[in-house]
Amino acid sequence: MTLALALLLALFEAPKPGTYELPPIAQVQERELVDASGAHVPFPGLAPGQVAVVAFIYRGCHEAQGCPASLALLRELDRRLAADPARAARVRLACVSFDPERDTPARMAELHDLMAPRSDWRFLVPDGAASLAQVLRDFGQDVVDLEGGAKRHVMKVYLVDADHRVRNIYASGFLDANLVFADIDTLSPPVK
């Protein structure tokens, strides 16, 4: 709803990039995850000047305000980045599954095909429970296993800078692509 109202009714304008601060919230570690092709890759693994928008998801999520909402945000970011190559070079999008048991690389590849990314959007899964625990602890992402395979969690999307510091966290009620882009341009200003 926030996304819809903000875009349709323009209830507010995103602040001008660079006019506000995004102090570090947490430091995350470089980890190795598995991508949709089955290859082990560094995560976040950013180049200098890059930022990442990271969403933890699982494909079995049926909570409307959960993973579908964060995927919708990343999809919108992806489409807008595709139309802005200069900005796209500074941004990586990443979905990380917190259900490595079911969300195999093959299943993440299906999600990749479904989303049909047009920018640097990666679909990743931890290599087992220990790897999952590490990355969840890094980000402070809560997850509880419920009966039937469901996973209770508070949906969050993280903005990570090139030094692997979490600089903002977006959640249900505040998923707004304009705000994310303002933050991206604050952390990684466009080259003039």
List of residues contacting another protein (CB under 8 A): 1-6, 11-12, 14-15, 19-21, 23-26, 64-66, 68-69, 71-72, 113-116, 133, 136-137, 140, 142, 144-146, 152, 154, 156, 158, 166, 169-174, 176, 179, 182
Q: How far is 11 from 8, CA to CA, in rounded Å?
A: 8
- Choose between 17 and 45: whose C-beta lies nearer to another protein: 17
DSSP string, 143-178: -EE-GGG-EE---EEEEE-TTSEEEEEEETT---HH
List residues bridging with 145 in a β-sheet.
151
Residue 91 is classified by DSSP as E
Smallest gap from residue 12 Cβ to another protein (A): 4
Smallest gap from residue 89 Cβ to another protein (A): 25
Q: What is the CA angle 118-121-125, rounded to 5?
A: 145
Smallest gap from residue 29 Cβ to another protein (A): 14
Smallest gap from residue 104 Cβ to another protein (A): 18
- Choose between 12 and 102: whose C-beta lies nearer to another protein: 12
Q: From the DSSP assignment, how many helices (H) and strands (E) are in the chain?
A: 6, 10
